[in-house]
Amino acid sequence: MKKFLDDNFLLRTTTAQSLYHQVAKHLPIIDYHNHLSPQQVAENSTFDNISQVWLNGDHYKWRAMRANGIAEKYITGNASDKEKFLKWAETVPYTLRNPLYHWTHLELQRYFGISELLSPKTAEKIYEETVEKLKTPAFSVHGLLQQMNVEVICTTDDPTDSLIYHQQFAQQKAGFKMLPAFRPDKAMQVDDCGAFNQYVDLLESVTNIAIGDFKSYLDALKKRHDYFANHGCSVSDHGLEHIYAEDYTEQEIAEIFHKIRLDRPISLQENHQFKSAMLVYFAQWDHEKGWVQQYHLGALRNNNTRMLGLSGPDTGWDSMGDFSQARALSKFLNRLDAEDQLTKTIIYNLNPADNEMIATMVGNFNDGSIAGKVQFGSAWWFLDQKDGMTKQLNTLSNMGLLSRLVGMLTDSRSFLSFPRHEYFRRLLCDILGEDVEQGELPEDMEWIGKIVSDICYYNAKDYFKF
């Protein structure tokens, strides 16, 4: 019987073990999409206890705790940090076969050197041991990132963000890069016209541009896009239920914007037309600058309005959606490609029912100009686990070129989440190692090792050119 979480965790064959330990294990990490705090990075923050760095903002853990009958007081409520940790420790033994069970113990091992299983029996000891370690420089934000050999992180930033912490960090010598990513979701979110108008007012004050019509609105957003570029940004990101690709005219969008600014209701068709137009403008600007654009598709957000009202957004009330994706995605990408304005693009999919569709769709727009120009991105959110990652890797293998994949990302708010790259690398090596030992791939370890190192690191380095 294998020991839990030993050196060969997830590596079922000697070939897989060789690929991981000799090739993948020590490669640097390029984490090109996450939700880490730029302020905490710039200030090299420290943490008083493990709850602050591990539980705060982690809606994966919060959902598990709720499912285990833990009161909200101990999740997003006013319980002490230690009380919250003890409730998480109470929950962990019940997360068997949930990826949280693996992640929890990987993170305790990799950062703190703790191999004991977290449970109510060990919780007090582990809490105190981690408190002591968190007092040392190795457990500051910079120390944690350096422990994991992180080379680049890209945060997620609204167009109105000042990027002041990115500017501060750029003056430091931390041994890794922190770069912004342009995330303009609020700039096209017209489902709530009141909130949208507040956002336009904020944009007006940030840019010092009087926004009296749609043209001046675009001018203000383009100014921020340029500002981001001047501060090292070369990636954008969009979190959408699905791509919007309605037909529209410039005049129609100008009239829709005017109605919104007058607080007049717009129809569902007008809503979708406005979002369609904004996606095209953002994509054109990305192409103009040679950025990489990312689209996270398929989340149905804020399902529980009662709990949303109590705890706010991004606290664990989201799920997979079952949206129709193919036609609009095809129309959107085709419009950009037809006008020679399709930049490097990554599509992330949340519903595994759409894996094959996404994998084949991206192949329609790989035109030979750049290797892996349009990518089926790695498994994310609810699919960021053994089965989901394996399905994504297998689907991409079957429908496209796995060898050109730009690897893994954390998509996380936690500075302890970087073992997810290790998890991905182990699964990748296991899949390829199994194929070699079954005679489905040649025993050409030099070439297969190169493919592994490319997927884990070099493809992203070449693709993003940070």
- 79-131 pLDDT, tens digit each: 999 999 999 999 999 999 999 999 999 999 999 999 999 999 999 999 999 99
Residue linked to tokens 């969009």: 238
398: how many CB neighbours lie within 10 A of its CB? 12
Task: Kindly state the percentage of the chain with pLDDT values over 90.
Answer: 98
215: how many CB neighbours lie within 10 A of its CB? 12
Handedness of CA 179, 343, 275, 321 (dihedral sign): negative
To the nearest whole number, what is the mean pLDDT of the chain? 97
Reported as a single tens digit per residue, the pLDDT across 342-398 is: 999 999 999 999 999 999 999 999 999 999 999 999 999 999 999 999 999 999 999
Indicate if 210 and 179 belong to the same structural domain. Answer: yes
Q: Does residue 196 belong to any structural domain of this protein?
A: yes
Angstrom distance (rounded) from CA 103 to CA 287: 37
Indicate if 177 and 93 belong to the same structural domain. Answer: no
Among 87, 122, 139, the domain boundary falls at 139
Indicate if 278 and 370 belong to the same structural domain. Answer: yes
Q: Does residue 9 belong to any structural domain of this protein?
A: no
Residue 412 DSSP symbol: -
Question: Using 50, 70 and 90 to split pLDDT, how confident is the model at 179?
Answer: very high
Reported as a single tens digit per residue, the pLDDT across 264-298 is: 999 999 999 999 999 999 999 999 999 999 999 99
The CATH number given to whatever domain includes residue 64 is 1.10.2020.10
Residue linked to tokens 């940790």: 85
Q: What is the arithmetic mean of pLDDT over 210-239? A: 98
In this prediction, residue 314 carries a pLDDT of: 86
Q: Please determine, for residue 312, whether its predicted confidence score (pLDDT) is greater than 90.
A: no
Two structure tokens written together for 418:
């970087």
The CATH number given to whatever domain includes residue 207 is 3.20.20.140
Question: What range does the domain containing 60 cover?
Answer: 47-139
Q: Please determine, for residue 313, whether its predicted confidence score (pLDDT) is greater than 90.
A: no
Residue 43 DSSP symbol: T
Q: Does residue 1 belong to any structural domain of this protein?
A: no
Please state whether the predicted TM-score (pTM) of the whole model is above 0.75.
yes
Angstrom distance (rounded) from CA 81 to CA 92: 17
Question: Which positions ≥6 away from 241 have C-beta within 8 Å?
Answer: 297, 298, 299, 300, 301, 321, 323
Domain count, the chain: 2
In this prediction, residue 2 carries a pLDDT of: 87
Amino acid occupying residue 453: S
Question: Which positions ≥6 away from 287 have C-beta within 8 Å?
Answer: 336, 341, 342, 343
Angstrom distance (rounded) from CA 163 to CA 177: 14
In this prediction, residue 323 carries a pLDDT of: 97
In this prediction, residue 358 carries a pLDDT of: 98
Q: Does residue 8 belong to any structural domain of this protein?
A: no
- With contact defined as beta carbons under 8 Å apart, do 378 and 349 qualify? no
- Cα–Cα distances (Å) from 245 to 22, 269, 279, 320, 343, in that order, read 46, 11, 8, 21, 17
Residue linked to tokens 């705090």: 37
Q: What is the arithmetic mean of pLDDT over 326-337? A: 98
- With contact defined as beta carbons under 8 Å apart, do 381 and 297 qualify? no
In this prediction, residue 88 carries a pLDDT of: 98
In this prediction, residue 1 carries a pLDDT of: 83
219: how many CB neighbours lie within 10 A of its CB? 14
